[in-house]
Structure 1
């Protein structure tokens, strides 16, 4: 019987002489079952990435460390992959001395992986001081379904807005973000204000898009611990799914099924804001193509539309522009990035906040603990008890966070539960605290207050907390 950590029903079996005689033991009466204690330190609780995947680094480099158990040879592979991650790509054709990094564009969003994943973490949205705006990208699609079951690209501008172009290729458009304040109050009268973003496309190079275009903003997500999530067995993810809310708890997480280019079939999605990527190789190849205009063995063709002749005529940096060995190096790198250890796990205020996290129901989606299985090629990741605070499933988070854009089986109101491990180090690594899929939340509390749909009851429970309780809850989250 599946149980959620937020409302676990424990059954204590009292073994007696009857059990020794082969008679089945009787369960203790429910009123005698001890309640689950969340206000105590659990064994290994500080090891967010398990014994093999946790590093004690709380600095600005906390999200950029290799698994501590890597051999010297495997650590060399990590360094090679990081080199690919840090390449600044340039337009083709380049001089012979620089030809190993040409092929950028013709249309692109950023020049390097690190542009959107500063410090392997979250880059700030465009309105944050110091932001270049490169981390916020815009997905585009129209009603319907592509042959692989995914979103149907907008016919003129494709599936992703490209705000930059190499010389001779016009950028597609400019994104404009405007915010409207939404005031509210906690039960104790303390006010808060959420900032609701509105997105518009201006300076469109090829005329207006399709009238039914759906637009979805996405911020780049942190990279630490992705290999550990890849190693979680599919059956572990699926056992937590409850698409019809059979247990009546108001939470109906469900898996996304997405197209695997490598396997040529639908598989479980587990990466990306809507769990729309099956694995880290495809996610890396998709970012090369979608964000930098670089072809790979997995995606060998540029997505220039019929309206974009200059894009189609632009010179190539090779076929493919990112060779198989470089894609493999980046894929390896993304698998073996460690997770920072938790801090202050034994603090009384943090423990009180943890108990509140469970009491208000946050753990119903943000599953605290998972166990990894075997992942081919990555023995270091196997058999680890990890604490990512995610179930890797899709949940309806309400109209306030809806983008209205389906992505494979994810609806326009559904998002994958974002892992919380490391979230308390966002300001240290990236210098800001902007959260959620488009960075609209300026703090952890604002992120909570934006939740609706399946999380509405939890949000309302948080609003009923006292100021002291809210501070304890935030201290717990900042310890992750």
Structure 2
């Protein structure tokens, strides 16, 4: 599969769009291979490849494919903005005035009726769940162990979370827990993608700091920082803070000695529906897991099991691309963060484990008249729709000379090798608001080795302990406006965009070093460009 994807990627880069028609631009041998690629189902681990892992786009005719390839090609002209660059979320881009609510606007191209659906989903996203039993029968089921009572309390203003700050708590950054394999059965389950990783035998998949009355929270995350001075080529000194993590006040005994702690900041919610509709072929075309072209960039896909169908599919959401769909990501968050069961994750006691007997004896919030889950299908429908239609804000100042100069630096030092500027979404997207849109997420949605400094040592599916999904950059310039602070990377260790860049290692080391070698004018321009996104 890797060899096949590499061949396909090389052909696309070398000769432009793949078309099933005769053209002098494609030698006869390659035309034959393209025909084979288009007509053959490929095998993954002995199974026929599902449509969700197709390596060619089946939603486009030859004319559309040519248009998509042309408009998606990286620019070489930095004298002016590119066509449509202002509208980085396509036709759904929000043109509202910049404010703290810039990440909370609905897609501009949904219907009036859909606006109502969006608002209902927003109400559920903000809803505080309560413990069972309760007189508010449609709102009980919290926990018994949990990190927050509402989705919005983690995704602050639909933006990113923040690391613990004094007594402010840790509700928008969590510690994921996972341990090494201990049996042949566990190894086989991981190899077959039936499990992403293995939970701590007592504390489960995530540290839960809060609990319903009568129970104790599992413990408290502790973060300690050490300042590290970095001198740039022009003698500018930047201070980076290196975090270390531990758990205090463990309530149910020690963690397994093999359990690793991985901090995860909640990411922004904007543009998720558009990301969901990027054709898998366009993401897989950037994959080069064995670095066959020798450029030092080895992006790879995280192949996961789709919850409802059980088919292998492309992971694209989460810090390690572990979720294939918005709905599955939402179901995982309901179960892990709030302790609410859904049809996708029918875990009425959330992340409670067999070792936590008192937790499992606590009443749950299932109401027979509403269905067999605490958040039944209609709730999931509304929350999913809301999450799919949070608009990406329009660019700002994109014609400024500083922004254009910074964009050129972004390209020249190699950031675009992972932060792919643009895609065109599927023409056959289920929701026409996300169909055939030119979007600018600045991510390839693949896994990359980011070096030992950012490593968490925790494997998730195909992702190793050194690998992270490239996060989208759209909206990053509004972080402080929306969230009132500027914390970046998976654990919020970076307090500025410059710090975030300087933490890059592994596959991004060359780009990071080129940034460190530029002068202050070029660095400032690059930051101006990022702030315009």
User: Considering the TM-score relative to the shorter chain, is it more than 0.5?
Assistant: yes
1:54, distance to aligned residue in structure 2 (A): 4.0
Q: Which residue of 1 aligns with 2:275?
A: 229
Q: What RMSD over aligned residues (CA atoms) do the two structures have, in Å?
A: 2.1
Q: Which residue of 2 aligns with 1:29?
A: none
Check the 8 A contact 1:435/1:443 in 2, yes or no. yes
1:245, distance to aligned residue in structure 2 (A): 1.2
Check the 8 A contact 1:55/1:339 in 2, yes or no. no
Q: Which residue of 2 aligns with 1:240?
A: 286
2:407 to 354, 358, 367: 354
1:95-129 deviation digits (Å, cap 9, x = unpaired):
2xx222111010000010011111100122112x7
1:352, distance to aligned residue in structure 2 (A): 0.3
Check the 8 A contact 2:15/2:25 in 1, yes or no. no
What CA distance in whole angstroms lies between the structure 2 residues aligned with 1:431 and 1:375?
38
1:270-328 deviation digits (Å, cap 9, x = unpaired):
00000000100010011001000001111112332122111101011114111110011
Q: Which residue of 2 aligns with 1:137?
A: 174
Q: Which residue of 1 aligns with 2:103?
A: 63
What CA distance in whole angstroms lies between the structure 1 residues aligned with 2:24 and 2:160?
57
1:29-58 deviation digits (Å, cap 9, x = unpaired):
xxxxxx922343111111110123443442
2:297 to 241, 251, 272: 251
Q: Which residue of 1 aligns with 2:230?
A: 184
Q: Which residue of 1 aligns with 2:65?
A: none
1:226-256 deviation digits (Å, cap 9, x = unpaired):
0000000111110111111122111010100
Say if 2:139 is the partner of 1:101: yes
Q: Which residue of 1 aligns with 2:309?
A: 263
What CA distance in whole angstroms lies between the structure 1 residues aligned with 2:199 and 2:374?
23
What CA distance in whole angstroms lies between the structure 2 residues aligned with 1:469 and 1:174?
42
2:359 to 290, 311, 316: 311
Say if 2:457 is the partner of 1:425: no
Check the 8 A contact 1:372/1:385 in 2, yes or no. yes
1:3, distance to aligned residue in structure 2 (A): 7.6
Q: Which residue of 1 aligns with 2:39?
A: none
Q: What count of residue pairs does the alignment treat as equivalent?
A: 457
- Which structure 2 segments of 5+ residues have no match? 1-7, 17-22, 27-74, 367-371
Relative distance call for 1:215 and 1:375 in structure 2 (3 A) is: farther
What CA distance in whole angstroms lies between the structure 2 residues aligned with 1:40 and 1:455?
27
What CA distance in whole angstroms lies between the structure 2 residues aligned with 1:294 and 1:87?
12
Relative distance call for 1:324 and 1:346 in structure 2 (3 A) is: same
1:330-371 deviation digits (Å, cap 9, x = unpaired):
011111111000100100010000000000000000000111
Q: Which residue of 2 aligns with 1:387?
A: 440
* Length-normalised TM-score, structure 1: 0.91
Say if 2:157 is the partner of 1:119: yes
Q: Which residue of 2 aligns with 1:320?
A: 373
What CA distance in whole angstroms lies between the structure 2 residues aligned with 1:10 and 1:167?
64
- Which structure 1 segments of 5+ residues have no match? 12-21, 26-34
What CA distance in whole angstroms lies between the structure 2 residues aligned with 1:173 and 1:277?
27
* Length-normalised TM-score, structure 2: 0.83
Check the 8 A contact 1:125/1:136 in 2, yes or no. yes
The 3-state SS of whatever aligns with 1:176 is: strand
